Amino acid sequence: MTWVYLDGAFVTAEEARVAAGDTAVLFGHGLFETFRARRGAVYLLDRHLARLRAGAETLGIEPPAELAGLAAIVRELSERCAFEEARVRLTLTAGAEGGRPALLIQARPALDYPEHLYEQGIAAVVASVRRNETSPLSRVKSLNYLDNLLARQQARNAGADEAILLNTRGLVAEGSASNLFVVRGAELVTPPLDDGALPGVTRGAVLALAAAAGLRPVEASLTLDDLRNAEEAFLTNAIAGVLPLVAVDGAAIGAAAPGEGTQRLRALYENAVRESGVVRPDPA
């Protein structure tokens, strides 16, 4: 039996209903967060919740009171579904006109990115879809996610693992489901939020770990040439952690293999997860 949490109660997935007049259904007016629960615990859950609340303010959605107990909800949902490692999706709708928002939380088994992707790195393509960095939606995880889905489909059609989104000025913004970093000398560089990058939770954690990896964290605009000529590059999100990027549009980045900086940061990130009390297997 598959359980979900909906508006204060745990119900089966078959019983869960969102109103047909909900503006999330009609117009994509809502937000989501995706995170990994390990034995019911989520690394940096408070930061996911802070981003959700900030997005709710941007979209004019009143966050429901039960968000204060999110950690307990995720723990119970993981236990009910018997998932030791779960990929959790939280959806907050705006509700129908004059109605209350709906809070839906779902879980499914966390299928790790295969270890060979960390050992060999992944390939990406540059998407034809552009990120509008001037829109407030570039800074929230809105249910209006079609640009990202179209970019991801373009990557799949090309046999790639991820799509890189450029903004309207032709600068690198992020991946379709990830933030992007490059190593350039002693610097760890990632696009600033003003260029259309989502304020990723894992992005922030990696920036904080840069000094321990011997790198200086820098938020600066990146061109495609900056990416292609980087010594190494990697992507981050809450499910994959730190994932090496070794090729873009068929051209190798650096040595076409995970770099030392990437490997150090992955190890530091995984260690931070373990030390937080959220247990995860050691990286190979």
Domain-embedded: residue 147 = yes
Q: Do 160 and 81 sit in the same domain of this protein?
A: no
Q: Do 72 and 97 sit in the same domain of this protein?
A: yes
pLDDT for 195 equals 98
CATH number at residue 237: 3.20.10.10
Domain-embedded: residue 250 = yes
Domain-embedded: residue 281 = no
The domain boundary, picked from 49, 78, 109, lies at: 109
The domain boundary, picked from 109, 139, 158, lies at: 109
Q: Do 60 and 141 sit in the same domain of this protein?
A: no
pLDDT for 110 equals 87
pLDDT for 283 equals 44
Cα dihedral sign for 55, 61, 67, 70? Answer: negative
Q: Do 129 and 207 sit in the same domain of this protein?
A: yes
The domain boundary, picked from 82, 109, 136, lies at: 109
- The domain tally of the chain equals 2
Q: Are strands 172-175 and 216-219 parallel, antiparallel or unpaired?
A: unpaired
Alpha-carbon 276 to chain mean position: 19
Residues ≥6 apart with Cβ < 8 Å to 248: 123, 124, 125, 126, 164, 224, 227, 228
- For residue 113, the 8-state DSSP code is P
pLDDT for 280 equals 46
Q: Do 31 and 137 sit in the same domain of this protein?
A: no
Residues ≥6 apart with Cβ < 8 Å to 234: 180, 181, 242, 243, 244, 245, 258, 262, 265, 266
Report the C-alpha gap between 261 and 237 in whole angstroms: 17
- Whole-prediction pTM value? 0.94
Report the C-alpha gap between 184 and 189 in whole angstroms: 7
Domain-embedded: residue 234 = yes
Give every residue of the chain whose pLDDT is below 70, as ranges.
Answer: 279-284
Domain-embedded: residue 282 = no
Q: Do 131 and 233 sit in the same domain of this protein?
A: yes
Q: Do 246 and 145 sit in the same domain of this protein?
A: yes
Domain-embedded: residue 283 = no
Residues ≥6 apart with Cβ < 8 Å to 217: 187, 188, 190, 207, 208, 210, 211
Domain-embedded: residue 284 = no
Domain-embedded: residue 141 = yes
Q: Do 191 and 141 sit in the same domain of this protein?
A: yes
User: What are 44-59's pLDDT values in tens digits?
Assistant: 999 999 999 999 999 9
List the domain range (segments joined by +) for residue 160: 115-275
CATH number at residue 54: 3.30.470.10
Residues ≥6 apart with Cβ < 8 Å to 82: none
Q: Do 57 and 152 sit in the same domain of this protein?
A: no
Q: Do 183 and 243 sit in the same domain of this protein?
A: yes
Q: Do 269 and 129 sit in the same domain of this protein?
A: yes
Q: Do 150 and 236 sit in the same domain of this protein?
A: yes
